[in-house]
Structure 1
Amino acid sequence: MTRTVDAQSTDLGMGTVMTHRASGKYAEEALRAVGNEAVRLEELLSRFRPGSEISRINRSAGLKGEKLSADTYEILSCAIEFSRTCQGFFDVTVGHLVKLWGSFQNTSKPPEELRIKQILPLVDYTGLVLDPCEKAARLQKAGQSVDLGGIGKGFAGDKFLEVFKKYGVSSAFTNIGGNVVTLGTKPDGSPWRVGIQHPRLEDSLMGFVSVVDKAVVTSGDYQRYFIDSNGKRHHHILDPSTGYPAESGLVSVTIVADSSTVADALSTILFVAGMGKGLGLLRRFPGAEAIIVDMGLQVYVTEGLRNCFQAGEGINVMF
């Protein structure tokens, strides 16, 4: 008889708290391997790590290309494809713009408009050129900078699933700072229930979505932000076309998809694009569904989630 082990762990990594649960004969070994995978990916992909491949690309901007590992080349290829497909609402070359805005903590005013205008021409994903033969990448303009904040945790979630499967785990749940990825069902055979944070009530949920083998990722204006002296909220999701926080009429976008990478990128893309354009773009990704909250706190849920989204008390939902 096969011994089944239920195990869980909590780690710090990728600038956030990560929690993992797994069930299977080698669940504990799988969790250790996932922890090691998180460290490996951060060392490859974080622009905050001077020795990472992303940092090497950024330092070589305008000078030369850099040979890459298979994982770094893969995520950059995905990022460029999202930018092409989604009309530039997503741009992986926002590194200097993100740095200019800072952490959105311990501040109460935005950067100077002149500085934003100076940096904006460097935000151009077409300047990130990949060489499929050499598995290399180069930034064409000096001063350009790659930042994987809108896709990196999603990519890591997919890689964690690969590790779980390698260890024969058939039931797992990973939460990377709010980016949730599920493998199979819960050990008892029921779907995983993932809570959707209320964007204006800190300890409250908009509702739950029940999922099996899905990723659930939310982008919202409440995650990192500051309020300026005029009472205006400035959040961390930047519009690559303006250099300022996106003003699309939305406060929260949750994507449910088979791929964590897709869910992560699309949550940002729809948030920046807004309701109308965003839903049009969503249709280009079969199987991806959305839960969208607008400025009036009206919740919109796409048809594919009708039978698996449960609204919280007092929450009005439109399908």
Structure 2
Amino acid sequence: MRRVEQVMGFPVSLRIDDEGLPESAADAVFAWLHQVDARFSPFKPDSEVSRLDRGELPDPSEDLTEILGLCEHYRTATGGAFDVRLPGRGLDPCAVVKGWSVQRAAELLRAAGAKRFCLNAGGDVVTAGGPWRVGVRHPEHADQLCTVLQLTDGAVATSARYERGDHIIDGRTGRPATGLLSLTVVAPTLTEADSVATAAFAMGAEGVEWAAGLEGCEVFAVDADRQVLRTPGFPTAPTGETVA
């Protein structure tokens, strides 16, 4: 089963290799992701996030409370480099919402009986079964890969400048993060991989060591001097075809 839909401003592709799994399993994934977009997008004036930011939502939902708790965890852990409440800007928890919601979608698939699948949300990937080969785009050449990794059950996320420019702000300075061109994190869940990748990128060069020191995380980074930094356990794949 294969399906692609545009959600939250980027393409989400789903591949399920299990035979006999009903289409309703994929329907549930995309219905959930569209619901998340409606509830937590800071760009939708009637979303929970926008209403909370305007002071119109005195009691956040359980899901939003969980998201904000994760945001606060990474703000504290990075000394303020990662911050979803930057001065002069509205509340924007997108860096946590994406990975959190796609991980939840993967859990819906597992609950439906899927054992081998790949869920790719704008380049951030959750896999089950496998092995799956995942390519990481070169930070300066869109038609090239800088590495290919191999995952069985896990997640990978990359933060970089190449899609949205200098969109990641170092909350300590209020200026765009510098020091890295891209940073990829492999972790057990996409909630962690995506949040850590963004938080570490916001920290700049020091973020590589910080992310590498987190339990269960492996890191591949390209710094501003074009040097490649990787942890010993980063699951680099043997040469071969990239399928995700």
TM-score (norm 1): 0.71
Distance in 2 (alpha carbons) for counterparts of 1:88 and 1:165: 35
Distance in 1 (alpha carbons) for counterparts of 2:206 and 2:174: 21
Rg bigger for which structure?
Answer: 1
The correspondence of residues 2-41 of structure 1 with structure 2, limited to 5 A, is: 7-24=1-18, 25-41=20-36
- Aligned residue in 1 for 2:108: 163
1:301 aligns with 2:230: yes
Instruction: Return the offset for 1:42.
Output: 0.9
Cα RMSD, aligned residues only: 1.9
Instruction: Return the offset for 1:28.
Output: 2.1
Distance in 2 (alpha carbons) for counterparts of 1:277 and 1:180: 21
The correspondence of residues 211-250 of structure 1 with structure 2, limited to 5 A, is: 211-225=151-165, 235-247=166-178, 249-250=179-180
Percent of aligned positions that are identical: 33
1:260 aligns with 2:172: no
The one-character-per-residue Cα deviations of 1:42-73 (angstroms, maximum 9, x if unpaired) are: 1111111222110110111xxx7522222211
In structure 2, the CA distance between the partners of 1:158 and 1:51, relative to structure 1 (3 Å rule), is same
1:53 to 35, 48, 51: 48
Q: Secondary structure at the match of 2:175?
A: coil
- Aligned residue in 1 for 2:62: 70
Instruction: Return the offset for 1:205.
Output: 0.4
- After the TM superposition, list the runs of 4 or more consecutive aligned residues in structure 1 that deviate by more than 6 angstroms: none
Q: Secondary structure at the match of 1:145?
A: coil
Distance in 2 (alpha carbons) for counterparts of 1:158 and 1:253: 20
Q: Which runs of no fewer than 5 residues in structure 1 stay unpaired?
A: 1-6, 98-118, 120-143, 186-190, 226-234, 313-319
Q: Which runs of no fewer than 5 residues in structure 2 stay unpaired?
A: 240-244
Q: Is the 8 A contact 1:221 1:252 kept in 2?
A: yes
Distance in 2 (alpha carbons) for counterparts of 1:92 and 1:54: 11
The one-character-per-residue Cα deviations of 1:84-109 (angstroms, maximum 9, x if unpaired) are: 12211211113xx6xxxxxxxxxxxx
Q: Is the 8 A contact 1:266 1:282 kept in 2?
A: no
- Aligned residue in 1 for 2:144: 204
The one-character-per-residue Cα deviations of 1:270-300 (angstroms, maximum 9, x if unpaired) are: 21223335413541x2111100101232211
The correspondence of residues 280-291 of structure 1 with structure 2, limited to 5 A, is: 280-283=210-213, 285-291=214-220
TM-score (norm 2): 0.91
Number of positions where the alignment pairs a residue of Structure 1 with one of Structure 2: 239
Distance in 2 (alpha carbons) for counterparts of 1:281 and 1:310: 21
The letter for the 2-side match of 1:80 is E
1:272 aligns with 2:202: yes
Q: Secondary structure at the match of 1:165?
A: helix
Instruction: Return the offset for 1:310.
Output: 4.3
Q: Is the 8 A contact 1:256 1:288 kept in 2?
A: yes
The one-character-per-residue Cα deviations of 1:217-260 (angstroms, maximum 9, x if unpaired) are: 000111212xxxxxxxxx1111112222112x210000000111
Q: Is the 8 A contact 1:252 1:292 kept in 2?
A: yes
In structure 2, the CA distance between the partners of 1:277 and 1:167, relative to structure 1 (3 Å rule), is closer
Distance in 1 (alpha carbons) for counterparts of 2:176 and 2:35: 31
Distance in 1 (alpha carbons) for counterparts of 2:42 and 2:207: 30
The correspondence of residues 173-184 of structure 1 with structure 2, limited to 5 A, is: 173-184=118-129
Distance in 1 (alpha carbons) for counterparts of 2:22 and 2:98: 22
